[in-house]
Amino acid sequence: MFNISYSKLSKLADSPRACYEYLTIDIKPTKEMLFGSLVDCILTTPEKISEVFHISDVPLPSKGIANIIDTLAQQNNDIASLDSIEDLDIFSIARMQDYYNNRGRDTIVAEVRAKGGDYFNDIINGLGKYIVSADDLLSANKVVEVLRTHPMSSVFLNSGVILYQHKLKFEDKIDDNTVTYNGIPDIIRITENQLQIIDLKTVNYNATDFARSLYKYKYYLQPPMYIDLVNKGFSFDKKLEVVFIFLVIGVQELLPIPYFVPEKSIEAGRSGWNQIKGSRQLSREFIWHSENNLWDYPYEIYRDRCATILIGNKDVE
């Protein structure tokens, strides 16, 4: 039995090694990812904010000190204060991270304690949760308010039957393998004529430039996978037209844009095009990599024992 999701296939589309790391390493989300998750939570499941996020009023120290404190908190999560950690332990982490390596131990330790003590205490208080600042919470609330009131987005949030964060799954057969597909659409909206699958994207650029993220983050895989999840794992009136919408908002301009994904683009994401792999091929390759535990190269390099590059109209091996 193999469990497949958009996140796994998007990482595999980046590289098998990226997929393996996603499966085996607890990768810390970026600040942008955290902010997007905060907006999603406020909009779709506000009752879970305190469960998922720790809102911090403590100013973030410099990146160097923050990295030291993060490591110390991971290694000493049963200690309530930085004062309880030995100087040698602090200095060892600082040296390991090459933090001002040319300075003496006492100077480095004193600086970490002075500038990182409150941050350490705050991390300990927020263990098991994502830590975001009070300013981030304020900004996220502004984004959600715009989404709920702007004429370009409000219709998707204020009318029809709306389900937020509804877990979906279905079983399928790929060759001789049983596969379970999993996914949680941000929003399922049912109107008189349509079932709309809506995925919220919060971006740090103008929403009119969303196409550049479509390829970078492999978002083209989402529409076919989520539509299959709804068609095969959700009970609804089959007379309804099933459509996929990216609801995109830039956090600077605060101008939302709904992007409807046409059927031919959905099929392209499913079947692939040119040299871009679709969800079907990536699902097969995910199974192959998992069964063989080989993650250094893409499947076709293992298969052919070489790589092919296109120059003009010719293949060069």
**pLDDT-derived band of residue 280, with 50, 70 and 90 as boundaries?**
very high
The tens digit of pLDDT for each residue in 8-43 reads 999 999 999 999 999 999 888 888 999 999 999 999
Report the CATH number of the 2-26+152-304 domain: 3.90.320.10
The pLDDT > 90 percentage for the chain reads 72
Average pLDDT over every residue of 212-227 = 95
pLDDT computed for residue 112 by the predictor? 92
pTM of the complete model: 0.85
pLDDT computed for residue 11 by the predictor? 97
**pLDDT-derived band of residue 49, with 50, 70 and 90 as boundaries?**
very high
Q: Is the pLDDT of residue 314 over 80?
A: no
Alpha carbons 304 and 307: distance in angstroms, whole number = 7
Average pLDDT over every residue of 272-276 = 92
Contact predicate 230/181, CB 8 Å: no
**pLDDT-derived band of residue 275, with 50, 70 and 90 as boundaries?**
confident
Lowest mean pLDDT among 56-60, 74-78, 169-173, 215-219: 74-78
Write the burial class of residue 289 (CB in 10 Å: 0-12 exposed, 13-18 middle, 19+ buried): buried
CATH 3.90.320.10 in the chain is located at 2-26+152-304
pLDDT computed for residue 73 by the predictor? 87
**pLDDT-derived band of residue 210, with 50, 70 and 90 as boundaries?**
very high
The tens digit of pLDDT for each residue in 151-162 reads 999 999 999 999
The alpha-carbon radius of gyration of the chain (Å, integer) is 23
Task: Please give the helix or strand (H or E) that residue 190 lies within, else none.
Answer: strand 187-190
**pLDDT-derived band of residue 101, with 50, 70 and 90 as boundaries?**
low
Token code pair at residue 60 = 């973030």
Q: Is the pLDDT of residue 5 over 60?
A: yes
The tens digit of pLDDT for each residue in 168-201 reads 999 999 999 999 999 999 999 999 999 999 999 9
Where b means 16+ CB within 10 Å and e means fewer, 181-203 reads bbbebbbbbeeeeebbbbbbbbb
Higher pLDDT, 78 or 317: 78
Q: Is the pLDDT of residue 115 over 70?
A: yes
